[in-house]
Structure 1
């Protein structure tokens, strides 16, 4: 009496269901729209992250190579400077206690000694100067040149003003003897009373450094400098003339590294001389006031990265386009399913009105229709989500191949009235299409070896799927991908604690195929193989990449196969 009429309640329920129906219909489209946006943004974000990481790795590699090159050039320069110091010491030791007149009186012997000494210590030039800067004896000329004087040289004036045995390193200059570019390490010659007798100088041509640097610094645009601690250049590659830049330019990355004492630390900056952005590092040569620096163009350091980024970008664009196409295809299929669902609902309403079914029958029929529609959507979504979507052709081929494997197993079970399937017949049915596609006869490309085994129905279809994945891999990457390659499947039965002959041990072995390389990661096919063997068959899986070929071993129980559903196994593989 107090409640509303029953018909009114039913009308209200129908109205609420009709208002909720559009919301349910919009949800798949909102999800697909979100996927469409993700299909564009996700590859772009992944591309940006990968490019950033790869750039940092490229720079880190370039810095390691730069420091390795620096250490190599450092060792060479240190030995050359040490040779100069040794030559100075040996020359001073020979002339110790001799006056300039005594040296001039025996020029031939001294010249022969200095010449042999210069050849012994890496062909450096040795010259002995008098107090007026004139050459007394040198390692090049048997008779000292009469018109060559070093009295105006920086190092000569320095030794005139600084009594003592200290070494002095001179910058890059033109030799007045042969005209080439040289730098000198010099030492004062003093009399017993401390008087100035002259200077002993040992020099190295810039070309001797350039030849070695050219062979060691292989990156185009590399800059190498040998300089004093105050920035005066002793040698430079690419070569320069004195007067072009006798000092390191102020404000450059190398000068800033010197000021901050950043030895063996890679810094970046633009050179004021040529405007090239370089990575630069330097080292001091032991206890000498000399430093060697190496710089490589950042453009050259990132050359490989630029090439890889181009490839990454192209792949990201293709991936984004493929994902967008798949999302649009799924949206269209969902629209078709929605229309079909609407048509089915209309037919249900017409049928309900025609037979005037009871309220419980109407609700049961509505649930039936809803369940069928959801199942149809689930099948489409599972197919789209679980199979790798590299491209349409691969996608269709992968789905068709796996469905065909199931169909062949289904046919064998049906022929035997679902009592089971012959293992040998199942293997031959699964391998024959792949042997034909590989171009060969079954007996020459595939071999089956084992006793007659009847597989239970629960194990036949999963094992057919496993053989399909192995044969697919062999055709794409393994023995069936090359002429003459062979796949051998052998099996045997073993006893278990529960029953004799219960354990099936099946071995897949490839031979005469291409060189086997273990994969760096497991692809979808191998993950699906693991899910089938361990999930559906409840067995064990062993994979080996031997030098002779790929080997797979499967162990499974014939009386107690795994009970995991195909859907669960596929989800694990996905």
Structure 2
């Protein structure tokens, strides 16, 4: 390493310094176009909102002028009706009701059918109106807010009511009313001009074709007279105090554009309001912010795409230059890495050899110990039987070894182990296993320290079945079933295996003397595997039940594996 470093010129910058300079240059190339695009988009957005504010004020003035004309005309119509009826009592008006109706009808026609005029007596009943020759007797307005206000307040001041449902047409209307008084000042009733909301909405649809634009007419106390987009307007509905237009009205910010979310429809708008001269009424106009910013968003997207492409191009050029300058450093680093990798490979190879040596030693000792125990325990009374027994048990051990070696001594399939152990004792027909032996159970993988002993147990059971049990006669059958059981300390921690023989010679009962195979099975299951063994000599055949704690066997196998690692 020192030799390589000594070849670097003294004045050359160090790799870390060059990396910092490259990172700064790359950040500038990637960030500068994006920063410029963001600045341009921000300035464009400010201009869009500023222009929208000016347009909102212009449109507000137009709508305000129309609303003032409507109210002025209503005041003229109301004044004309009062002049005609001045000095007349309610009885006089009823006597000449047809003539008064024709006069009020002409007023309505003059207003293009957009208003209605009605005269009410001191009980709230209709004396005469512009709609019907004979007034409807069921109509009574004695409980309306405008009637109660005029009854309790002297003077000629007009009153603008909130929206109500008409008792004759069921349309939503609001009224401009005045008190009718006798010469002595007593209350005679109310003269009212009736305005339908739909007449205002129709004009607004013509003046502001975009249905997303907000137009509203409301009283100073917040009661809505008409609104577009429409909402369910009743006499009790008011604009919520937290609304942006209500706050602007409280601050007397007339013709000033405010921004906020409407509490009625949850739409964010730019909006402004103006009051009508002589009436406690204000008109408002607004435009959704999303609609105003939609063209700006498209332009901002174009700015962003251009900035991203520019940043990518500049960054690619910087990266290309950086790769050229790093060639010598990369060659040096590659050489050092190869030396380190070769050293690591040598050390790893030596570790693997040591591991394999310990593993071979461990497996060989286990196999020799099993063979030694098997030779010592096998009866030696008859040489031929002794040889046959040893060969069978060694074969069972070998088959288990083969299954374990196929999975690199990690585990062995229980189904494969049982099939291998039963193969020498069960005939095959047409390449398929004879139905005299049935295997049924879920997939189970046995650890090495359980596979070999269990193979010996199954071998002893199969040998006994061939000699004395179900497999000793042509019609005999053996069924082996197994499943995993839950224990208190852990789920699925025990293997329960059941060996059942049927169709063989009739079993007289429990044997007087236990054979060598039974002793081997008891020693292996209880002593070596730490499990439980139960044998039942039923008349139909032997039933053997084995339960092996798999979790304990895995724990016993872990120390050897960790030691080998």
Q: Which residue number corresponds to residue 77 of structure 2? A: 87
> Contact 2:254 / 2:273 at 8 angstroms: preserved in 1?
yes
Structure 1 residue 265 displacement after superposition:
1.1
1:320 to 288, 311, 323: 311
Q: Which residue number corresponds to residue 289 of structure 1? A: 280
Structure 1 residue 19 displacement after superposition:
4.8
Structure 1 residue 243 displacement after superposition:
3.7
Q: Which residue number corresponds to residue 117 of structure 2? A: 126
2:131 to 135, 140, 162: 140
Structure 1 residue 186 displacement after superposition:
0.3
CA distance in structure 2 between the aligned counterparts of 1:242 and 1:129, rounded to whole angstroms: 25
Deviation per residue, 1:341-368 (Å, 9 max, x gap): xxxxxxxxxxxxxxxxxxxxxxxxxxxx
Report 1:19-98 matches (<5 A). Answer: 19=9, 22=12, 34-98=24-88
Q: Give the CA RMSD over aligned residues.
A: 3.0
Deviation per residue, 1:92-119 (Å, 9 max, x gap): 1111122222222222221111111122
> Contact 1:28 / 1:334 at 8 angstroms: preserved in 2?
no
Structure 1 residue 220 displacement after superposition:
4.6
Distance 1:29 1:271, change over 3 A: closer
> Contact 1:248 / 1:255 at 8 angstroms: preserved in 2?
yes
Larger Cα Rg: Structure 1 or Structure 2?
2
- Kindly indicate whether residue 180 of structure 2 is the aligned counterpart of residue 189 of structure 1: yes
Q: Which residue number corresponds to residue 151 of structure 1? A: 142
Structure 1 residue 27 displacement after superposition:
11
> Contact 2:256 / 2:273 at 8 angstroms: preserved in 1?
yes
> Contact 1:219 / 1:300 at 8 angstroms: preserved in 2?
no
Q: Which residue number corresponds to residue 240 of structure 1? A: 231
Report 1:465-480 matches (<5 A). Answer: none
- Which sits farther off after the overlay, 69-78 or 159-168? 69-78
- Kindly indicate whether residue 202 of structure 2 is the aligned counterpart of residue 216 of structure 1: no
Q: Which residue number corresponds to residue 258 of structure 1? A: 249
Q: Which residue number corresponds to residue 228 of structure 1? A: 219
CA distance in structure 1 between the aligned counterparts of 2:94 and 2:154, rounded to whole angstroms: 23
Q: Which residue number corresponds to residue 175 of structure 1? A: 166
Deviation per residue, 1:412-468 (Å, 9 max, x gap): xxxxxxxxxxxxxxxxxxxxxxxxxxxxxxxxxxxxxxxxxxxxxxxxxxxxxxxxx
* SS, match of residue 12 in structure 2: helix
Report 1:122-521 matches (<5 A). Answer: 122=112, 123-243=114-234, 246-331=237-322
Deviation per residue, 1:308-341 (Å, 9 max, x gap): 22211111111111112233345567789xxxxx
Structure 1 residue 284 displacement after superposition:
0.4
Question: Which TM-score applies when normalising by structure 2?
Answer: 0.53
Structure 1 residue 25 displacement after superposition:
12
* SS, match of residue 46 in structure 1: helix
- Which sits farther off after the overlay, 271-280 or 286-295? 271-280
> Contact 2:118 / 2:126 at 8 angstroms: preserved in 1?
yes
Q: Which residue number corresponds to residue 93 of structure 2? A: 103
Structure 1 residue 240 displacement after superposition:
3.1
Structure 1 residue 234 displacement after superposition:
1.3
Distance 1:33 1:132, change over 3 A: closer
Deviation per residue, 1:162-181 (Å, 9 max, x gap): 11111111011111122111
CA distance in structure 1 between the aligned counterparts of 2:38 and 2:16, rounded to whole angstroms: 33
**Count of equivalent residues:** 324
> Contact 2:270 / 2:287 at 8 angstroms: preserved in 1?
yes
Structure 1 residue 195 displacement after superposition:
1.8
CA distance in structure 2 between the aligned counterparts of 1:288 and 1:189, rounded to whole angstroms: 19
- Kindly indicate whether residue 104 of structure 2 is the aligned counterpart of residue 114 of structure 1: yes
CA distance in structure 2 between the aligned counterparts of 1:268 and 1:74, rounded to whole angstroms: 20
CA distance in structure 2 between the aligned counterparts of 1:230 and 1:288, rounded to whole angstroms: 12
Distance 1:258 1:240, change over 3 A: same
* SS, match of residue 274 in structure 2: strand
Structure 1 residue 297 displacement after superposition:
2.1
Q: Which residue number corresponds to residue 548 of structure 2? A: none
> Contact 2:211 / 2:229 at 8 angstroms: preserved in 1?
no
Unaligned 5+ runs, structure 1 = 1-17, 337-574
Structure 1 residue 269 displacement after superposition:
1.9
CA distance in structure 1 between the aligned counterparts of 2:25 and 2:93, rounded to whole angstroms: 93
Structure 1 residue 61 displacement after superposition:
2.1
CA distance in structure 2 between the aligned counterparts of 1:244 and 1:221, rounded to whole angstroms: 25
Deviation per residue, 1:462-503 (Å, 9 max, x gap): xxxxxxxxxxxxxxxxxxxxxxxxxxxxxxxxxxxxxxxxxx
Structure 1 residue 214 displacement after superposition:
2.4
> Contact 1:224 / 1:293 at 8 angstroms: preserved in 2?
yes
CA distance in structure 1 between the aligned counterparts of 2:224 and 2:326, rounded to whole angstroms: 77
Structure 1 residue 22 displacement after superposition:
2.9
CA distance in structure 1 between the aligned counterparts of 2:13 and 2:162, rounded to whole angstroms: 84
